[in-house]
Structures are given as structure tokens and as C-alpha cells.
Amino acid sequence: MKNLKLSVLSHTQNKRTVIRVGDVRLGEEFVIIAGPCAVENEEQTLETARQVKAAGARMLRGGAFKPRTSPYSFQGLGRDGLKILARAREETGLPIVTEIMDTRHISLVSEYADVLQVGSRNMQNFTLLKEVGRSDKPVLLKRGMNATLAEWLNCAEYVLSEGNPRVILCERGIRTFETYTRNTLDLSIIPAVKEVSHLPVIVDPSHGTGRSTLIERMSLAAVASGADGLMIEVHQTPHKALSDRYQQISPDAFSLLVRKINRMKSAMDDIYRDES
Ligand code: PEP
Ligand code: MN
């Protein structure tokens, strides 16, 4: 792997990291994480969990603590949201990915989550990174919206250097001059990560585009880019969602999408069969 001149070099170990969560082996098999932007209520979350599982999702996402631009927007259900996620896991067996925003919540969120998500806005919250670095849960580290690859990997290093080797990187779009899309999904970063790091990396086309109509093509392109998985927002009634309503897709759309993703994955495996 190429040397990115990181201050610390644990990224350049030769063996690719595989992260086991229940029976999921992220880094070894292609993994789709799906679920609502936010946990809004029990019925919505359970129904979505059942549907995304039936469609082929391997983990359930859902925010209980939401980082919102406005303090007057829905902030998430907090502990009640975490309990709902735990019920969804109990029923479907899907491991839970949920965001941690504050070091004060580490024991609370860890009680319910299988994977701790550090959001884009907190990518460089070094205190939080050190805290999740001392946890025994895998960490899904989203790329900061203005972070370079080196900055992002150094943040992963904060987690690794505290003793937690289980970091999943997630590209979710960066800020550019373009305003049609919410962010600019930087798919070139995926093969770049693969050149310089052993960590698995997934793509979030929902936040990466901010537009439900663009999710399908960007998901397929993410597969072609060599990503280890996808994280996609799914809502029962996207237009009524309490957050991110323009980018969430319906369970039916998700189900059709998974079939196309699987076909794309087989095509890519075919193309690269002799090189692995
Ligand atoms: C999310 O995944 O719910 C989220 C808030 O994403 P990001 O941190 O990428 O904006
Ligand atoms: Mn969201």
C-alpha cells in the first residue's frame, strides 16, 4: 500500500481488516446497512427493519441522537430511540448502527448499539474519537464534509491508537461549489482509501447526494468503485420524514435497488475475478 505520509502508520499494515458484527463480516463480504435517518417511533422503525431485512440489508441504521443544523428541528428520541432500535434488533436479528454525538453518552449508546457511528460533523472531535477508541464496539467513522483523505485517516488513527482496531470508514459526500446536490459524493476516494489503508470503506449515497432520485445510480457506482458496502436511508413515507425527507427512499424502492446492487456486484466480481 502506498505511503500517504501519515504521522502514524498503522494504516499501512498489509492485511485488510475484516470487521465482524454478529454474522456480518464487513471487509470480506459486501454489506448493505439500511434504515431511517432518525428513529421517529416504534412502528416506523420495526416495520422498516422488517422490510429492509427482507430486502437483503444486513444491519439496521437509525439515529436516536441527531445532529441537526437548527436547534428547533427534531433532535431525535434519545434513550427511547435506542430502546426502539434494540426491539428492532430483537425481532429481526439485524445489528444496530447508531450515532454517538457526545462522550457523555458512551455508556448509554453502547448499551444498545452494535456499531457506534461518529458523524461527519464530529469526525474531528478528538475527545470523542479517543473515547470510542477505548470502546469494544466497532466504529463507523463518517468523512468530515471538508476533510481530506489524510485528515480522515488520522481520525481513524485516533480510534486505532486507543486500542480499538475495528474502524469502518464511510464516504458521505463533501462540500463543493455545487448546490444541486446536498454534497458531492467523492467516489474516487474509495479506490484511494484502498491504496493507502487496510480499513474497510463504505459509501452513503443518501447524504452524499441529498436526493432520492440519485441514490440508485450512485449506489451502483459505489459498487463499481470497490466499496465494501453501502449505507442507505429508508423511510416508510419519505415525504413525511422528520429529517432528511428528500433523500430517503421507500422500502419498495430499496428492495428493487438491492437486486440491482447484487447484479452489479456479480458483474464487478466477474470483471476482477482473475486479479484477486
Ligand atoms: C447520519 O448518517 O444520520 C448523518 C447525520 O450523517 P452525516 O454525519 O454524514 O451527515
Ligand atoms: Mn440523515
pLDDT digits (tens, 9 = 90+) for 10-24: 656 779 999 999 999
Nearest CA among 250, 255, 213 for reference residue 44: 250
pLDDT at 84 over 80: yes
State the pLDDT at residue 26. 98
- Ligand 1 binding pocket (C-beta < 6 A) is 37, 63, 67, 99, 119-121, 142, 172, 207
Predicted TM-score of the model (pTM): 0.96
pLDDT at 3 over 60: no
The domain locations on the chain are 17-275
Q: 13: helix, coil or strand?
A: coil
- pLDDT tens-place string over residues 23-44: 999 999 999 999 999 999 999 9
Q: 50: helix, coil or strand?
A: helix
- Beta strands 115-118 and 96-99 are parallel
pLDDT at 8 over 80: no
- The CATH code for residues 17-275 is 3.20.20.70
- pLDDT band for position 275 (cuts 50, 70, 90): confident
Atom of ligand 1 nearest to the CA of 243: 3
Ion ligand 2: residues, CB within 5 A, are 37, 244
**Residues pairing with 33 in the sheet:** 59, 231
Calculate the average pLDDT of the chain. 95
Distance of CA 50 to the CA centre of its chain: 19
- pLDDT tens-place string over residues 108-149: 999 999 999 999 999 999 999 999 999 999 999 999 999 999
Contacts of 240 (CB under 8 A, 6+ apart): none
- pLDDT tens-place string over residues 221-271: 999 999 999 999 999 999 999 999 999 999 999 999 999 999 999 999 999
Q: What is the rounded CA–CA span in Å between residue 200 and residue 202?
A: 7
Ligand at shortest distance from the CA of 121? 1
